[in-house]
Structure 1
């Protein structure tokens, strides 16, 4: 494949062409030449869009797809196609399928299913067998098969000793442990952030304390064991401060935040719309602003869509009984552009690769073409027509977004939205 991308502004702080508007010649999946007004004597295909910007390919550190077992929610094939058209050249797949991805054969299964797609899939192996929180899964075997980290999706490990052993064990092969942090006893039957809104609506509350206590415990364990830990989808002001303090004390800790926690608050629950039922729950505007501050000061390392397709039978029901989760790949960039500056959005959509051990390709001559193409200025309303996922449970339906993703170039393939 030969392709010239015309008049593209490069947003890549690691590239010598950062913030420059140039032409990019791609030959057989490699960036062969970058410059202005590149000649096209061989009638090579050209790609040009208004206000075109390009960056390193984006990475999402938390994506659920369903397959195997829940293909009615999403398949790996359609999920990777959706990710590509949403700007992501790589995703980390959560293990919450059926069966759970807790052994080498399950890792091999999803990798084989994902072979040949432009968007690369990196499996997260379950930390415990069947994500049941009782016995440690086959971590080393999964690592050898291709798992990039280990964690039980949206399940907090009550057994502190098991997490301690896991943190110690994975150091032998430089493994990354993921610890979703929520004290289930304090959460109880809570379905919404405990506060003014939940009280007014009569919904059982899930307090900030449930998250913060568990984060504090997990940080103490990390301090004791060494190794490295990732805390996904933090949602409270105090959580950000705890992680900031841990980093200043030299702990090898990283964390992510979900797009919806940066943009939406628990005020959205006024209509009892289950599209806004997520885990952790949407918090207050004070928490939201603290999360944005944590992004800006570097405490929060990466942003995830926390894409979680749920079938209509488990979403269109009374609030207490509905499953947690929102899809988020399609709306991630556009929603983030309404609350953060462009360069910071790109940084937080790409910086997770280093933490998860994924090869980084800067936009430079001689590099592999791993590129996302987008226009950061275009404004629109996010509608069902924008949803490419099989499930339609988006918390951003009807929301104004900024920016348009044109697609990706990766693995020698050009995928356009």
Structure 2
């Protein structure tokens, strides 16, 4: 256990009595033991002084992919969690898209054991269907008992509405959360970018917004029929935001997330045919990007995710049509978001997802567990290859200006800077 005093830290935590105050935070045995204007240090604890230090409750990312087991060339769990820690995340939800797919109790136990003892907590998402193929439900109850916090097939929509209906009914017995990605397959077809002026100009096959929206309408209709809890990840259109707002007003238990890249980039970056920008759902129009920002600020969108997805060079550095979807995003999440949102809103959206996924929130108060993200909100830097900490280098944010800097985290009794 690392015992420290964080010196002159500005606390950003609207739930804390010390919100917006500059304080010394003493941490002993993983617990906050005092918060003072100027801490005495009779026990000679290590004092941590960082330029313009700000701290908040630990950040949570609701969608990261690492690859292990089976795709360790993309990313390992231990390095992936180190990257998360250095990027300010105390907690991450791991997608089941490894090889084999995480669709049973022993796979959940394996990834949890791999993450044991590290500063950042890993919470596995179990596959909703066996092998994420959409045909039969996976062992949901067994996975829940082994530590799965939700169930979904990463970036795959559900063709069979009845399986979705049964899943939403079944998980209510143990208060399970179902994640449903929205992109109707036949409407998507062979599309690789958003359908519109840019796709026509580039001669690339387009995916209409309707592919997301029709699937989303169906998913919400089934939820209205079954009850239960549903999470819609990485929505990307204005109409999706409006539909979710309407569903929430009706009283449906639905939440949603948006990816950093959909808030900070638009489809015009595709003009160089660079496959780093190939993501699913695809980058959108500026109008849709602005609608997502509004969805964040008005409270319809519950959380922001990096949707961190490492892809090895053999599958990414290809012709645009052939390259795999996905960008890494942990390292750049905070700095990119600061270009479009206020620090307080960003932190709220990086913390509040914990409640949706049934995880513990730790307000910054004496006696509480120290689970803290450490950052500085004002410096300006340009993100280069040398700043990539992940094993895979497929970042859509190379060359982008970042505002602010993440120092690291204090969590699980460990200071990771």
TM-score by length of 1: 0.99
The answer to whether residue 19 in structure 2 is matched with residue 15 in structure 1 is no
Corresponding residue for residue 34 of structure 1:
35
Q: Distance in 2 between matches of 1:311 and 1:42?
A: 48
The answer to whether residue 96 in structure 2 is matched with residue 95 in structure 1 is yes
Q: Distance in 1 between matches of 2:253 and 2:19?
A: 29
Q: Distance in 1 between matches of 2:187 and 2:131?
A: 24
Q: Distance in 2 between matches of 1:271 and 1:344?
A: 33
Corresponding residue for residue 242 of structure 1:
243
Q: Distance in 1 between matches of 2:384 and 2:349?
A: 25
Q: Deviations over 1:28-67 (max 9, x none)?
A: 1000000111112232110011111000000000000000
Q: Deviations over 1:321-361 (max 9, x none)?
A: 00000000000000000000010000001100000011111
Corresponding residue for residue 58 of structure 1:
59
In structure 1, stretches of 5+ residues that fail to align are none
Q: Secondary structure at the match of 1:319?
A: coil
Corresponding residue for residue 218 of structure 1:
219
Give the RMSD, CA atoms, in angstroms: 0.5
Corresponding residue for residue 335 of structure 1:
336
The answer to whether residue 155 in structure 2 is matched with residue 154 in structure 1 is yes
Q: Secondary structure at the match of 1:213?
A: helix
Q: Distance in 2 between matches of 1:128 and 1:72?
A: 25
Corresponding residue for residue 357 of structure 1:
358
Q: Secondary structure at the match of 1:321?
A: coil
Corresponding residue for residue 204 of structure 2:
203
Q: Distance in 1 between matches of 2:347 and 2:99?
A: 33
Corresponding residue for residue 228 of structure 1:
229
Q: Deviations over 1:96-129 (max 9, x none)?
A: 0011000000000000000000000000000000
Instruction: Give 1:386 shift.
Output: 1.1
Question: In the comparison of the two structures, how many residue pairs are matched?
Answer: 416
Q: Distance in 2 between matches of 1:385 and 1:361?
A: 33
Q: Distance in 1 between matches of 2:42 and 2:29?
A: 17
Q: Deviations over 1:186-213 (max 9, x none)?
A: 0000000000000000000001000000
Q: Distance in 1 between matches of 2:359 and 2:38?
A: 33
Corresponding residue for residue 346 of structure 1:
347
Q: Secondary structure at the match of 2:362?
A: coil
Q: Deviations over 1:49-100 (max 9, x none)?
A: 1111000000000000000010000000100000000000000000000110
Instruction: Give 1:385 shift.
Output: 1.3
Q: Distance in 2 between matches of 1:401 and 1:251?
A: 37
Corresponding residue for residue 286 of structure 1:
287
Q: Distance in 2 between matches of 1:183 and 1:276?
A: 21
The answer to whether residue 180 in structure 2 is matched with residue 179 in structure 1 is yes
Corresponding residue for residue 166 of structure 1:
167
Q: Which stretch shifts more, 269-278 or 8-17?
A: 8-17
1:312-331 equivalent positions in 2, closer than 5 A: 312-331=313-332
Q: Secondary structure at the match of 1:414?
A: strand
Q: Distance in 2 between matches of 1:401 and 1:25?
A: 30
Corresponding residue for residue 378 of structure 1:
379
Instruction: Give 1:275 shift.
Output: 0.3
Q: Distance in 1 between matches of 2:74 and 2:149?
A: 24
Q: Distance in 1 between matches of 2:149 and 2:81?
A: 18
TM-score by length of 2: 0.99
